[in-house]
Structure 1
Amino acid sequence: MLVLDAGNALFRSRDSGEAPDAKARAELLLSQLDAQGTAAMAVGTRDLVLGVDFLKKGTKKAKLKLLSANLVDDKGTPFFPASLVTDVGGVKVGVVGVSPATAQPVAAAPPVKGRPTPMMKGLPVEPAVAAEAKRLREQEKVDLVVVLAAVPYDEALRVAERVEGVDFVVQSHEGRGQGIAQRQAFATLIPPGDRGRQLAKLELGLDGPGRFTDITEQNRARQNLGIVENNLAKAKERLAAEKDAAKKASYEQAVAGLEARRAALKKVAEGSATGAARTHLLSYIQLGSDVPADPAVQKLVERIEPPGSAAH
C-alpha cells in the first residue's frame, strides 16, 4: 500500500494564517501525515500560508516527502524535490508533485518588518511534469507514474490529456469532493475527496503492460450489454414479422445500430477495448462518525480544537 496526499491539506484557506490555531493545526496535520505513513504530499497553495521555510522545518525529520516539480526561488532553484521513487510490493512507483503556476513571483513567506521577503514562482505545470515523468521512465525505469497535482482542475485535466508517461493524476485545489475516475488521452484523473472527509482508495491490477482499464467501466459495460442484447432480440423479432417496406428498413437500421453497440460493449466488458492488461478500481472510505477516532490523536486535536468550540 502506498499512502499519498495531493496537497492543500494544512490550512483552511489561503488567508487563514493569522488564526490563533493555524500554526498548531498545520503542525499537527504534518506530524500525523507522517505518523500514518504518508510517503509524499504535493505542495499546494493552502500549504504555503506560512511559507516555504515552515514546511521545510515541519518535515525536516519526517519520512514524509514534500514534492513540487515547478516551485522555485528567485534564482530558479527548486524548493522541494520534484519526485519520489519507491517500491510497493515489487512495483517501482514514481510520484511527481506539482504546484500552481504563477504569472509573477510571489512571497515565499509572510512579510516580516525590517527583513526582505523571499520570493517564489510556480513554473508552467505541463513542461515540469513532462520532464520529470520522462526522467522517471528513462532513468529510474519506474513501472508506474503518479502525479500529485495541487493545481486547478483544468490544469490537472490538461496534464492527463497531454503528458505522455503519466498513469494517474490525483488533483486537489478547489475541494471538489469525491467523484469518478476520468480517463483521458494519456492518464486517468482521480479526485481524492475533500478536506479529509473521505479517503480515496485506488486498487491496481498489474498483470501486464498497456493502459489501465477501469473495472467499474467494465462492470457497467456488462450490465448495459445485457440490456442491448435483449433489445436486439426484440428488434430482430419485429424485423422478421414486419411486412411494410418502410418499417422494415427502420427496423434494419435499428438492428445494425444495436449490433454495433453490442460489439463496442463486448470489447469493454472483456477488457479488450485497448488491449490493456492492467486495471484500476476507485472507491472511497467516508470518514464520518462511524469511523472511530484514535484516542491519542483525538487528545492532540482537542488541545487545538476543544470540544464545544466553533472549530471542533
Structure 2
Amino acid sequence: MPVLVLDAGNALFKSPLPDGDPKVGERARFLLEQLDAVGTRAMAVGARDLSLGTDFLAKASKGAKKLKLLSANLVDAGGKPLFPASLVVTEGGVKFGLVGISPEGPVAGQPPGGGGRPPVPAALAEARRLREKEQVDVVVVLAAVPYVEATRLSQQAGNTVDFIVQSHEGRGAGVAQRNDYATLIPPGERGRQLARLELSVDGKGPSVDLTEAERARENLKLLDANIQQAKARLAALKDESARRALEEAVASFESRRKQLVLQAGGNKEGLKRTHRLSYIQLGSDVADDPELKKRVERIEPPGSASH
C-alpha cells in the first residue's frame, strides 16, 4: 500500500520562545534527521519550529534527503518567501499538492516587515495554483496555525482543498470534520499518536468519511424499522387527531432519513472518494530502538527536567 508521510509542524521545540536550554538546537536537529529518516515528505513550519529563528531552521534542514519544510506565508522583510509554499509528490499513481502555512505575525530573528502574512489567503492562492497549473488530484494543507484559522480555511476553501491537517495548540487525537468540501484533520499531539488517514480518491466530489458513513448506515436501519412500524400503526388508526400526530412523526422520520442517506454516501457512485481516520498510539507497547534511545538520552538524560 502506498504511504505518504506528512507532518503538520510544531514538532521541533517545546515552546515558541527560546528557553535557555543549550541542547534545544541539538534536539531540533535530531528530530529533523529522524523525520527525514522515516520518509516524511513535507512539514509545515509552525510557531514551535521557529524558536531559534528561520536561519537556524533553514540550515538545520539543509541536509534532508526527502523532507521539505513548507510555508506559503512566511516572508522576509522584503517580501521574499523564506520557504517553498508547496510541494507536488506522486504516490500510488495519485498526484498530491502539499501546501504549508504558518501563524500570522512576527518571527524570532526576522527584522520588522518580515514574518507570517495572513495564512488563509496564502493557502487558497497556492491551492488554486496547484489545481490549475499542476493538475493535482488531491490538495492537502499542512496548517501549523490556530484552530480558528484552520476552520476558517476549511469554510472558505470551496473545492480547492481536500484535507487540512492542523497543529498549533496540541489538541491531540480527534475526529475528522468536514466543512462543506474540505475535511479538517487533527494529527495527534507531541508525537504521542500517529494519525493514519486511508484514502480512496477515485471519482470526484468531497471525500466521504467512512466512519461517519458506517454510523449513518446503522442509524438508517433503525430508522427504517421505526418508519415501517409507524406506517403500520397509521394504517390501523381511526382517530383523526392521533393520525395527524403520527403523520407528523413519519414526516420527521423521512426528513431525517434523507440526511442519513447523504451522510451514508448515497449510492456506490457517491462512495468512490472516501477517507478513514484512525490513530496509532505510541505507548510503552511500541518497542524502543536501542540506538535511538541512547541518542535521545544524551540530549535529554533520564530524570532531567526536559526528559
Relative to the length of structure 1, the TM-score reads: 0.92
Deviation at 1:248, TM superposition (A): 1.3
Q: Secondary structure at the match of 2:27?
A: helix
Deviation digits for residues 153-188 of structure 1, max 9, x if unmatched?
Answer: 010111111024111000000011111111012310
Q: Which stretch shifts more, 271-280 or 257-266?
A: 271-280
* In 1, Cα distance between equivalents of 2:79 and 2:181: 29
Unaligned runs of 5+ in 1: 110-116
Alignment match, 1:108? 109
1:95 to 93, 98, 116: 98
* In 1, Cα distance between equivalents of 2:130 and 2:147: 24
Counterpart amino acid of residue 310 in structure 1: A
* In 2, Cα distance between equivalents of 1:123 and 1:299: 40
Report if the CA contact (8 A) 2:44-2:101 is conserved: yes
Deviation digits for residues 91-146 of structure 1, max 9, x if unmatched?
Answer: 111100000112xx44336xxxxxxx686321111221111111111111111110
Alignment match, 1:112? none
Counterpart amino acid of residue 184 in structure 1: N
Alignment match, 2:248? 253
Counterpart amino acid of residue 135 in structure 1: R
RMSD of aligned residue pairs (Cα, Å): 1.8
Alignment match, 2:161? 166
Alignment match, 2:261? 266
Residues 1:106 and 1:54: Cα distance change in structure 2 (over 3 Å)? closer
Q: Which stretch shifts more, 237-246 or 69-78?
A: 237-246
* In 2, Cα distance between equivalents of 1:186 and 1:223: 24
* In 2, Cα distance between equivalents of 1:198 and 1:177: 8
Alignment match, 2:201? 206
Deviation at 1:307, TM superposition (A): 2.4
Deviation at 1:23, TM superposition (A): 1.5
Counterpart amino acid of residue 50 in structure 2: L
Report if the CA contact (8 A) 2:36-2:67 is conserved: yes
* In 1, Cα distance between equivalents of 2:137 and 2:32: 29
Counterpart amino acid of residue 12 in structure 2: L
Report if the CA contact (8 A) 2:199-2:274 is conserved: yes
Deviation at 1:210, TM superposition (A): 1.9
Alignment match, 2:29? 27
Residues 1:222 and 1:276: Cα distance change in structure 2 (over 3 Å)? closer
Q: Determine if the alignment matches structure 1 residue 78 to structure 2 residue 77.
A: no
Deviation digits for residues 16-61 of structure 1, max 9, x if unmatched?
Answer: 4412331221111111111111101000011000011111111111
Q: Which stretch shifts more, 135-144 or 229-238?
A: 229-238
Unaligned runs of 5+ in 2: none
Residues 1:271 and 1:289: Cα distance change in structure 2 (over 3 Å)? farther
* In 1, Cα distance between equivalents of 2:200 and 2:187: 19
Relative to the length of structure 2, the TM-score reads: 0.93
Q: Determine if the alignment matches structure 1 residue 64 to structure 2 residue 67.
A: yes
2:20 to 18, 21, 24: 18
Q: Which stretch shifts more, 198-207 or 258-267?
A: 258-267
Alignment match, 1:121? 115
Deviation at 1:239, TM superposition (A): 2.0
Q: How many residues get paired?
A: 303
Residues 1:77 and 1:238: Cα distance change in structure 2 (over 3 Å)? same
* In 1, Cα distance between equivalents of 2:265 and 2:43: 36
Percentage identity across aligned positions?
A: 61
Runs (4 or more) in structure 1 with deviation over 4 Å come to none
Alignment match, 2:124? 130
2:229 to 223, 231, 234: 234
Report if the CA contact (8 A) 1:211-1:276 is conserved: no
Counterpart amino acid of residue 79 in structure 2: G
Residues 1:119 and 1:305: Cα distance change in structure 2 (over 3 Å)? farther
Alignment match, 2:57? 55
